[in-house]
């Protein structure tokens, strides 16, 4: 048996073989780029913890979020946190985030609150994406007066500060979590309409669109099968970032008493109920707010990471120095 000199040279590294054998789809490249960015990884971790908390809330939370502890334990209204590890006497019941104004365990309420914040983010943005992309696609594809009318309406919506418009819409619809979500969805629509319109404008002249038109595809089929998949990238990035601001806006609406109503364990509403006690029981303001901040931060970091990962102009490692 002859040994080829090439074998010992090890020209083909295992890494190269592995890379050559695997097809690299855009999704795979993006994922690989995403997890190489530290900030995106932090974002993913935050959101992972949050999702796990939301899913396993009944196992994590020591109490039911609406359970009043009067007569069950010897605790007082708005009692400060009692953590055994930090020197709170062992004979006292442990309450990681203290007791709220209605003698409920604050930690359990914050844990259950994660369910609301995720639901709020995804539903309001989902609503805005569906409506916004539809109108944006229509405007971009049809052009002419349809485009003009749709985009002028969007301009008017954008002329109002988002939160004020949302407040006004909730005032019309009546306070409540669902209406608050609807309001946030409505004020977010113009962003998607604009992005979608721009994408459609850039894709619709492409040869493959002309080809499906020549094959007799209907307008809706062309829009949804040919144009939309090619316009997804900016929508995903915008969507992630908009979830962050939707959660902030929903919390603000709840804070103003227009969103989730007590006793719902929603962070903004929890903060709002106790805001006048900030000098005497700061923990009841601090923890829900911290939860909101971390959640929003998670979505912001992930959104930024996705934007960079999808952008083919930015190389991953050994990035060319830009300055």
Partner 1 sequence: MISFVIRRLLSSIPVLVGILLVTFALARLSPGDPCTALLGEHATPQICEQFIARYGLDQPILTQLGIFLRDVARFDFGDSIRYQRPVALMLVERLPMTIELSFSALTLAVLIGIPAGIIAAMRHNSATDVTTMVAANVGVSMPVFWLGLMLAYVFGLLLRDTPLWLPPSGRISAGLTAVPFYQVYGLGMGRSSPLYNVFEFFSNLYIFNSIITGNFRVLWDTLRHLILPSMALSTIPMAIIARMTRSSLLEVLGREYIRAARAKGVPRAAVVFKHALRNALLPVVTIIGLSLGSLLGGAVLTETIFGLAGVGRALFEAITSRDYPIIQAFTLVIAVGYVIVNLLVDISYTFLDPRVRLE
Nearer to partner 1, 63 or 299 (CB): 299
Minimum Å distance from CB 25 to partner 1? 28
Nearer to partner 1, 165 or 236 (CB): 165
Closer to partner 1 by Cβ: residue 181 or 301: 301
Smallest gap from Cβ 6 to partner 1, in A, equals 40
Shortest spacing between CB 108 and partner 1, in angstroms: 20
Minimum distance, C-beta of residue 165 to partner 1, in the bound complex (Å)? 9
> Closer to partner 1 at the Cβ: 214 or 320?
320
Contacts of residue 182, defined as CB under 8 A and 6 or more positions apart, other chains included, come to 124, 127, 169, 173
Burial 198-234 (b: 16+ CB within 10 A, else e): ebbbebbeeeebeeeeeeeeeeeebbeebbbeebebb
Q: Compare residues 48 and 282 and give the one whose CB is closer to partner 1.
A: 282
- Least distance between partner 1 and beta carbon 10 (Å): 34
**Cβ distance 273 to 262 under 8 Å?**
yes
**Phi, psi for 291 (deg, rounded to 5):** -60, -45
Least distance CB 128 / partner 1 (angstroms): 17
- Least distance (Å) from partner 1 to the CB of residue 23? 33
Q: Which residues bind partner 1 (CB under 8 A)?
A: 39, 152-153, 155-156, 159-164, 167-168, 171-172, 174, 244, 248, 251-252, 255-258, 268, 271, 275, 278-279, 282, 285-286, 288-289, 292-294, 296-297, 300-301, 304, 321-323
State the nearest-atom distance from the C-beta of 84 to partner 1, in Å: 26
The structure tokens listed for 81 are: 């946190």
Task: Tell me how far apart the alpha carbons of residues 50 and 47 are, in angstroms, rounded to a whole number.
Answer: 5
Task: State how far the alpha carbon of 114 is from the alpha carbons of 33, 53, 289, in Å.
Answer: 28, 7, 12
Kindly state the DSSP code that residue 146 receives in the 8-state scheme: H
The whole-angstrom separation of Cα 114 and Cα 240 is 17
Residue 87 or 174 having the CB closest to partner 1: 174
**Closer Cβ to partner 1, 36 or 64, answer by number:** 36
Residue 293, preceding peptide bond in cis (omega within 30° of 0): no
Which phi and psi (to 5°) does residue 258 adopt? -105, -15
* For partner 1, the closer CB: 84 or 275: 275
Q: How far is the CB of 279 from partner 1 (least distance, A)?
A: 5
CA-to-CA distance for 40 and 3, rounded, in angstroms?
Answer: 47
Residue 56 vs 160, nearer CB to partner 1: 160
Q: Where do runs of H (alpha helix) occur along the chain?
A: 5-9, 14-21, 26-35, 38-55, 57-60, 106-142, 144-159, 162-173, 177-203, 207-214, 219-221, 228-230, 232-255, 267-273, 283-310
């Amino acid at each position: 048996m002859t040994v080829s000199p090439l074998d010992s040279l090890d020209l083909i590294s295992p890494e190269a073989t592995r890379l050559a054998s695997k097809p690299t789809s855009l999704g795979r490249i993006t994922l690989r780029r995403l997890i190489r960015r530290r900030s995106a990884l932090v974002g993913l971790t935050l959101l992972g913890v949050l999702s796990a908390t939301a899913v396993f809330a009944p196992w994590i939370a020591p109490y039911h979020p609406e359970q009043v502890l009067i007569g069950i334990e010897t605790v007082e209204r708005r009692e400060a946190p009692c953590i055994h590890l930090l020197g709170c006497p062992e004979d006292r019941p442990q309450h990681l985030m203290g007791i709220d104004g209605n003698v409920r365990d604050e930690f359990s309420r914050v844990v259950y609150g994660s369910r609301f914040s995720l639901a709020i983010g995804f539903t309001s943005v989902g609503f805005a994406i569906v409506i916004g992309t539809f109108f944006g696609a229509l405007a971009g594809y049809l052009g002419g007066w349809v485009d003009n009318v749709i985009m002028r309406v969007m301009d008017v919506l954008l002329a109002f500060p988002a939160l004020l418009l949302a407040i006004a819409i909730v005032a019309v619809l009546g306070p409540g979590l669902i209406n608050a979500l609807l309001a946030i969805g409505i004020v977010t629509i113009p962003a998607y309409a604009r992005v979608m319109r721009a994408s459609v404008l850039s894709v619709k002249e492409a040869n493959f669109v002309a080809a499906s038109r020549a094959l007799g595809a209907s307008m809706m089929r062309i829009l949804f099968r040919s144009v939309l998949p090619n316009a997804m990238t900016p929508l995903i990035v915008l969507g992630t970032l908009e979830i962050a601001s939707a959660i902030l806006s929903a919390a603000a609406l709840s804070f103003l008493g227009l969103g989730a109503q007590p006793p719902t364990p929603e962070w903004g509403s929890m903060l709002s109920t106790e805001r006048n006690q900030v000098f005497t029981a700061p923990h009841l303001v601090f923890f829900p707010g911290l939860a909101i901040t971390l959640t929003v931060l998670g979505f912001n970091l992930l959104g930024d990471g996705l934007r960079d990962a999808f952008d083919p102009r930015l190389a991953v490692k050994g990035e060319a120095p830009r300055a």
